[in-house]
Every structure is written in structure tokens, then in C-alpha cells.
Amino acid sequence: MDQPHPTPPSPLAPQSHSLLTDRFGWRPLAADAGHVRERATDLFVRTFGTRPISCGHAPGRVNIIGDHTDYAGGSAAPMAIQLRTAVVAKLTNDGMVSVVTEWAGHEVPAGSRSYSRAWKDITPAAFAGPNVTKTWAAYAIGAAACAAQTGWLRKCGLQLAIASDIPVGAGLSSSAALEVATIGACVGLSKLNPTISRVPELAQRAEHLYAGVPCGIMDQLICTLGSPGGLILINFATGKKLDVSVAPGLAFVVAHSGVSHNLVATAYADRRAKIESALQIICRGTGRKYPTLMQAISRISDVDLVDADDPEAVPLVAHVLAESRLTRDFCVSISDGDAAAAGAYMTESHESLKKDYKVSCPELDAMVEFACALPGVHGARMSGGGFGGCIVALCDDEACGAVEHALRTGGRSPLVFRAVPSEGLEVETLNA
Ligand code: GLA
């Protein structure tokens, strides 16, 4: 599975590196994403004095359209991107799980970039319990623990080293990439031949149980199954996935709003709880029976919402309904090359996230407005969980450089890049 990584045609412009490092403590992004595996291997050798045996290599993602739909049975169309996380691993016999990261992000202060704990003490309560200080290590150790529970990994002892080009807190799925890459590294150590289709579910379980975040499964799915061919349209009620290519001449540009979305776990959990009770209210109102809440959304109509007349529940359900419809229409337009329609769907989606679902923030709104006014841009929206993080804009290929420059300078975005569709999880066995 060792495949060469394409060099992204438009890596971050050199002048944005100092901004990144100054304002957020992020490391400059490498132009060649394949470097992350070498960095993880070097870190492993320096830390543990031996060479790793396997590597899991997973991308970040930008969600092009369809947010806050995955846990409600709607649709989304995310895309894996060229920024990647590598986790290298080796089994030991000391009964410990030891993990080290090179991340220079503000979440990982110097002095706390390594973590070690006995396998027997690794439980969800030890990482996500009520009085536990949250640690970045929960994502990697939780993923390894879920791989072990499934029988994919022997619990004799484990060493892991992490390197990443995905900025933390940017809404580009650094967490899911870490979980998926860790499970990939465990798969590389396994004597079994585990199926890749189970990776997203295990990674999501790790995030729920060990990081304490009740996320949907979109990020773990795209980080595992992403493809250089384009986006994946996912229907979360049925689990069906469809590859969607982007017509030639169009490009996606990602720009950070300047607001980190690190501390949003509580707001996210709140939205998730609210949509579940909103769906129950609407379902009760229709008098019809639905097998599960995840299947309800595809059977609820706009008329049901008018009838429900519930000022809190209606906008939330209306968002999931509209967003899922926009996602499906967008996928047709983007592959047909109807840029004007595709862009309009993206901008409409942003309005729904802002007004109905209320997960945007003034900085995201301002960045979307700024992007939409640029020549060559067809539409833009916030991407991911919201409350900060990035926007994504659809633009003409030939306008891409000017759009990136304008977002960096006039838009004052600390992180701007053209998103290149990329391979999902890769697992490699390394030469000892
Ligand atoms: C986060 C979650 C996903 C999804 C998005 C919003 O990224 O991890 O499951 O809910 O927010 O679309």
C-alpha cells in the first residue's frame, strides 16, 4: 500500500509560515506531505532508540458541503486533503503504551509531548471521566485501545510516534486523522487481515469513549476512505457512498477564520442533543412511526415542519433537511461543471448553518462574505463543526492564486491553501 504522495500544486505560500507560527504556534506545513512519515520515524528512533515496524498515514479533510447532518441521518460531501498525519508503531513486551508527538500546536506544550500508561490502566474513565484533565494522547491511545478490543492488536506493549501537517483547531479533522492513522499503524502490526471498512467505526468509538466528544462519523469515514478523485457523497441514514468528481477548471480554497475551534466540544454536544430531541418532537407530531431517528429525516417533509410549529425544533430540523438537499444538488452541479449553481448551494448552506443551526461566528461570516465578493469565486461556506475554524470557497482554477492572495492579505486569514483531493488511510510495513 506504500504509494507515492503527489506534491500539492499549491502549498502554503512561504510568507504565511511566520504568521502561522506567531499567532497559533502551528508548525509550517511541509510542501511534500510524504515527509510526515519520515518525521514520525525520526521521532520514534530518537525517543525509543529502535525502529518502528508499521505506519498508518491518514489525511485531514475539508467538508465541502453538508455540516451537522451526519449524526442526524442527512447527507454530506467531504473531501480528504493533502495535509496528513503519520503514526509509526512497534509492539513491546513491557505492558506499557508509550506515545510521543512532534506537534508544536498550542494544545501540546513543550514538556508534555510524550505520554505513557500501563495497558491495564487504559480505560475510558481514565481519559474522559468527569474530573480528568483532557490530553491529546487520548485520541491515539483511545484508538489503539479500540483496535485492541476488536482483537486487531495484542496488549503486550506498544510504542507510537506521531507527526502531522494538519493544524490543530482549524476544523480540518486533525483528531479523526490521528485516530485513523493510529488504527492503521495497529493494523500494520496485526497478524490478522482486518477490513478497512471497520476503521471509521472504531475511530469514532475512540473519540466518543476516550476523548469524550460525541461526534458523528463523517470525519473518520473520509479520513479512511478519501480519494484523489474528488469528494465522497455520503448518505448517513443508509450508509451509501458515491464518488463525486470535480469538473475541470474549478478549485477549492480553504481559509482559516482566525478563530480556533478547539473549545467547542460542549457546544457540539449541545447541538447534537437538541437535534435528537427536535427530531423526536417532529416525529411525534407527524403521528408516523420511524424505525430509528437516523432514518426519520428522509421521511420528514417541509409540510411536517409547518404543521409542527415549534420555534426551537423546527429551525434545527429544517437545517438538516435543507442541508442534505443542497448537498445532493451540489454534487450534481460540481461534477457537471455548473459552477454558478454549485457556488450558490454552498453560500445557501452557510446561511442555514448561521441562521437555523447557529454554529457559525462573526469571523466565519465575515470571511465567507469577503470570499464571495472576490472575482472568480462562485460561493463559500464555513466547513466542519463551526464556532471558528475554516471556510471553503469554490473558485475558477485560473483565479485560484489571486483568491488565495486576497484571502491572506485583505481577508487577513492566517492559513490559506488550495485543497487537493487526496488518498485516505494508507498502511505500510516499514523496513526494520
Ligand atoms: C465535526 C464532527 C463531525 C460532523 C461535523 C459537522 O467535524 O466530528 O462528525 O458532525 O463536525 O458537520
165 is catalytic: no
CA-nearest residue for atom 8, ligand 1, is 215
For residue 7, being part of any structural domain is answered with: no
Mark which of 239, 263, 282 sits at the end of a domain: 239
Q: Is residue 347 part of a domain?
A: yes
pLDDT band for position 32 (cuts 50, 70, 90)? low
Residue 369 CA to residue 152 CA, distance in Å, equals: 47
pLDDT value of residue 111: 64
Instruction: Tell me the angle at which helices 174-189 and 218-225 cross, rounded to the nearest 10 degrees.
Output: 50
Taking only the tens place, the pLDDT of each residue in 252-277 is 999 999 998 765 678 899 999 999 99
How far is ligand 1, taken at its centre, from the CA of residue 157, in Å? 32
**Residue 228 and residue 264 in one domain:** no
Non-local (6+) Cβ contacts of 319 within 8 A are: 68, 352, 353, 356, 357
Q: Which atom of ligand 1 is nearest to the CA of 268?
A: 11
pLDDT score recorded for residue 33: 52
Q: Identify whether residues 262 and 211 lie together within a single domain.
A: no
Beta-bridge partners for 393: 253, 380
CA of 58 to the centre of ligand 1 (A): 17
- Give residue-wise pLDDT tens across range 35-44: 899 999 999 9
Nearest CA to ligand 1 atom 2: 215
CB of residue 385 inside a 6 A radius of ligand 1: yes
Same domain, yes or no: 221 and 257: no
DSSP state of 376: T
Q: Whose CA is nearest to atom 9 of ligand 1?
A: 216
For 145-191, the pLDDT digits (tens) are 999 999 999 999 999 999 999 988 899 999 999 999 999 999 999 88
Instruction: State if residue 215 touches ligand 1 by the CB under 6 angstroms criterion.
Output: yes
Query: What does the alpha-carbon distance between residue 430 and residue 432 come to, in Å, rounded to a whole number?
Result: 6
Domain that holds residue 268: 252-419
Question: Side by side, which strands form the sheet with 377-382?
Answer: 377-382, 390-396, 250-256, 416-419
Cα–ligand 1 centroid distance for 208 (angstroms): 12
Question: 65 CB less than 6 Å from ligand 1?
Answer: no
CATH of the domain at 233: 3.30.230.10
Last residue of a domain, one of 239, 262, 295: 239
76, 327 Cβ separation under 8 angstroms: yes
Q: Could you tell me if 145 and 273 lie in one domain?
A: no
Q: Which atom of ligand 1 has the smallest separation from the CA of 173?
A: 7
Q: Do 346 and 256 form a contact (C-beta atoms < 8 A)?
A: no
Total number of domains constituting the chain: 2
Residue 70 Cα: closest atom of ligand 1: 10
Q: Are residues 414 and 317 in the same domain?
A: yes
Residue 67 CA to ligand 1 center (angstroms) comes to 7
The pLDDT assigned to 5 comes to: 36
Residue among 67, 70, 165, 219 flagged as catalytic: 219
Please report the sign of the dihedral spanned by the C-alpha atoms of residue 139, residue 142, residue 148, residue 149.
negative
pLDDT tens figures, 299-315: 898 888 888 888 888 99
Let me know the angle formed at the C-alpha of 107 by 423 and 386, rounded to the nearest 5 degrees.
65
Is the pLDDT at 29 greater than 50, yes or no?
Answer: no
173 CA from centroid of ligand 1 (Å):
9
Residue 396 falls inside a structural domain: yes
Q: What is the SS3 assignment for 367?
A: helix
Atom of ligand 1 nearest to the CA of 175: 8
Strand partners, 67: none
The verdict on residue 67 lying in a domain is no
Q: Residue 26 pLDDT more than 80? A: no
Ligand 1 proximity of 68 Cβ (cutoff 6 Å): yes
Distance 71 CA to ligand 1 centre (A): 8
Q: Where among 239, 260, 278 does a domain terminate?
A: 239
Residue 20 lies in a domain: no
**What number does the ligand 1 atom closest to the CA of 359 have?**
6
Residue 110, C-alpha cell as written in the block: 513543550
Q: Name the pLDDT band for 347 (thresholds 50, 70, 90).
A: very high
* Same domain flag for 260 and 381: yes
Reported as a single tens digit per residue, the pLDDT across 420-432 is: 999 999 998 887 6
Give the pLDDT of residue 429.
86
Taking a C-beta distance cutoff of 8 angstroms, is the pair 231, 218 a contact? no
Ligand 1 lined by 67 (C-beta under 6 Å): yes
Question: Could you tell me if the CB of 179 is within 6 A of ligand 1?
Answer: no
Task: Verify that 265 and 218 share a domain, yes or no.
Answer: no
**Residues 218 and 90 both lie in one domain:** yes
Residue 21 confidence (pLDDT):
33
- Do 186 and 318 lie in one domain? The reply is no
d(CA 423, CA 133): 34
CB within 8 A of 245, min separation 6: which ones?
Answer: 229, 230, 335
Segment 368-412, tens digit of pLDDT: 999 999 999 999 999 999 999 999 999 999 999 999 999 999 999
Mean pLDDT for the stretch of residues 96-110: 75
| Per-residue pLDDT tens over the stretch 64-86 | 999 999 999 999 999 999 999 99
Q: Is the pLDDT of residue 24 over 50?
A: no
State the CB neighbour count (10 A cutoff) for residue 172: 30
CA-closest residue to ligand 1 atom 3: 216
Does the pLDDT value for residue 291 go beyond 60?
yes
Element (H, E) at 408: helix 400-408
Its pTM surpasses 0.85: yes
Instruction: Tell me, using a 6 A CB cutoff, whether residue 304 lines ligand 1.
Output: no
* Set of cell numbers at residue 76: 454530506
- Residue 298 is predicted with a pLDDT of 87
Which amino acid belongs to residue 368?
Answer: V
Gap from CA of 384 to ligand 1 centroid (Å): 6
Asked whether 386 and 364 are in contact (CB, 8 A), the reply is yes
Residue 73 resides in a domain: no
Strand partners, 62: 79
- The verdict on 322 and 406 lying in the same domain is yes
Q: 223 pLDDT band (50/70/90 cuts)? A: very high
- The reply to whether 286 and 228 lie within a common domain is no
223 lines ligand 1 (CB under 6 A): no
pLDDT tens profile 140-150: 999 999 999 99
Mean residue pLDDT across the chain: 88
